[in-house]
Amino acid sequence: MEKVMKGNLPVAIIGGGPVGLAAAAHLVQKGESFILFEAGATVASNILEWGHVKMFSPWQYNIDRASRELLEKSGWVSPNENLLPTGQELVEEYLLPLSQVKEMNDNIILNAIIVGIARKGLDKLKNAKREDAPFQLYVDIEGETKVFEAKAVIDSSGTWKNPNPALSNGIWTNSERSLNNHIYYGIPNVNKLEDRYRDKNVMVIGSGHSAINALLELVELKVKYPNTTIYWVMRKQNVKEAYGGQENDGLQARGELGTKIQRMVELEQIKVLTPFYIHNLKGENGKISVTGNHNFDEVLIHDIDELIVSTGFRPDISFLNEVRLNLDPAVESVEALAPLIDPNIHSCGTVRPHGEEELRQPEKNFYIVGMKSYGRAPTFLLATGYEQVRSVVAYLTGDIVGAKEVHLELPETGVCSTNIESNCCSTETKPMQIESDSCCTPKPIPLKIEINKKDNSCCS
């Protein structure tokens, strides 16, 4: 077998989410030593932040093969393959028991935050004997920065801790930061936060599954507290684009999210503002005012009590400054993956199987996997990550043939074949209503909106 990694140092894994733990399980199976650093107080701490959300893929897609084998040896019984776990159940019934298997547990360090990685004694610029130098990982543990050495690094630190802001150009402003007490990034547990949202003007920003999950929970709250007003703001030309593949989706639960939200929009439980590009947020008498471009008009929306920003996530590459990386300039994904997942050109969300070869970085024996490998693209599925780490570990442990044989069948999203009209003048769906004399002639909604007309060119 070809010797890919040299020396007796362990392989370092950053992040104890499902993909990092799967990488560890594959290394255990290959008899290779590893050390896993997890920032949280428990494994999968990112998932626990959305633990109340039901996943759209059933257990059969959520369990890694090597992890299952390790678990079964320890007497674990697999959950029913066809059921949909919540995030919390994924952690409690699978990831936590996996991390407690002895071969895993002995090599996991919790509350350990990676703050820097370099080749020993070399900064990014230096070539000399670079590939022979071990990696040094700088890790904050209990207020102290410790240094660990490794012969390879698998970065599976996800993107959850690095959300996108509300502004449509992606810029974080102090003004937005100052409103932090009234903004939730991600998917709030609305049931637990009833006091925060009931009878309030709540605006949800974003068009993905996270936004839809938050909206559906708010609609439930509105049944109990009818004075709750829900606004849904997104950049898409037409809200229909957010509904996804619906009954054509290979994952029934994912398809149903679109169907449910369509129904709520049609029942006017949610006021949709689209296309809407947010330019600024400002605090105003304890409320938030939102400025943006809506259908080519400048509008100002007052009196928003709470914002839920579900505009996606971006990878944190700050601790990788001294590592030679090839990331796509737009998607910030591993470069070779970008053409497969770029939401600008790839509507399907289904990705052909890929492994070590596509994930290879200019820095030998360094890999970005899991959610982080997709950069800003939102379509990552666990099954993809499990196949990624199987292939990477096969390669690192000298099984070059195994590394190349990538197998992955992902359920189709069902959106490739739908012909979504992205035209502001489309007449088919008009749930969003603003008083304006634009060619799309919407009717008014009961909200304090000021319109500063600019341009109707989209309809010319």
Ligand X SMILES: Cc1cc2nc3c(=O)[nH]c(=O)nc-3n(C[C@H](O)[C@H](O)[C@H](O)COP(=O)(O)OP(=O)(O)OC[C@H]3O[C@@H](n4cnc5c(N)ncnc54)[C@H](O)[C@@H]3O)c2cc1C
Of 12, 45, 264, 307, which lies in the binding site for ligand X, with binding defined by CB under 6 A? 45
Give the nearest distance from C-beta 162 to ligand X in angstroms. 9
Give the nearest distance from C-beta 144 to ligand X in angstroms. 15
Strands 11-14 and 34-37: parallel
Distance between CA atoms of residues 358 and 453, nearest Å: 48
Distance between CA atoms of residues 337 and 43, nearest Å: 27
Binding region for ligand X (CB under 6 A) out of 3-11, 43-51, 124-132, 399-407: 43-51
Residue 255 engages ligand X in binding (rule: CB under 6 A): no
Give the nearest distance from C-beta 210 to ligand X in angstroms. 5
Residue that the structure tokens 């999950």 belong to: 213
Of 67, 157, 350, 388, which lies in the binding site for ligand X, with binding defined by CB under 6 A? 157
| Residues in 101-140 at the binding interface with ligand X, rule: CB under 6 A | 113-114
Residue 148 engages ligand X in binding (rule: CB under 6 A): no
| Residues in 257-286 at the binding interface with ligand X, rule: CB under 6 A | none
Residue 20 engages ligand X in binding (rule: CB under 6 A): yes
Residue 59 engages ligand X in binding (rule: CB under 6 A): no
Of 52, 124, 161, 346, which lies in the binding site for ligand X, with binding defined by CB under 6 A? 161
Classify 109 as helix, strand or coil: strand
Distance between CA atoms of residues 284 and 178, nearest Å: 12
Q: Is 358 exposed, middle or buried (0-12, 13-18, 19+ CB in 10 A)?
A: middle
Give the nearest distance from C-beta 437 to ligand X in angstroms. 40
Give the nearest distance from C-beta 37 to ligand X in angstroms. 5
| Residues in 179-218 at the binding interface with ligand X, rule: CB under 6 A | 187, 210
Please tell me what DSSP assigns to residue 360.
B
Of 371, 396, 406, 440, which lies in the binding site for ligand X, with binding defined by CB under 6 A? 371
CB closer to ligand X, 63 vs 290: 63
**Cβ proximity of 124 and 132 under 8 Å:** no
Q: Is 104 exposed, middle or buried (0-12, 13-18, 19+ CB in 10 A)?
A: buried
Of 34, 50, 94, 231, which lies in the binding site for ligand X, with binding defined by CB under 6 A? 50
Of 39, 205, 264, 389, which lies in the binding site for ligand X, with binding defined by CB under 6 A? 39
C-alpha distances out from residue 344 to 70, 144, 327, 377, 457, Å: 40, 43, 17, 10, 22
**What are the E-state strand segments in 50-123?**
108-109, 112-119
Residue that the structure tokens 């509350």 belong to: 111
For the chain, the residue count is 460
Residue 18 engages ligand X in binding (rule: CB under 6 A): yes
Give the nearest distance from C-beta 161 to ligand X in angstroms. 6
CB closer to ligand X, 19 vs 394: 19
The candidate with the shortest Cα–Cα distance to 150, out of 43, 38, 33, is: 33
Distance between CA atoms of residues 302 and 49, nearest Å: 30
Query: How many chain residues are in contact with ligand X, going by CB under 6 A?
Result: 37
CB closer to ligand X, 210 vs 397: 210
| Residues in 307-366 at the binding interface with ligand X, rule: CB under 6 A | 319
Of 4, 11, 40, 327, which lies in the binding site for ligand X, with binding defined by CB under 6 A? 40
Of 46, 238, 262, 391, which lies in the binding site for ligand X, with binding defined by CB under 6 A? 46
Inter-axis angle of helices 65-73 and 382-396, nearest 10: 80
Distance between CA atoms of residues 394 and 276, nearest Å: 46
**Chain positions contacting ligand X, by CB under 6 A:** 14-20, 37-40, 44-47, 50, 53, 55-57, 61, 113-114, 156-158, 160-161, 187, 210, 319, 370-371, 380-382, 385
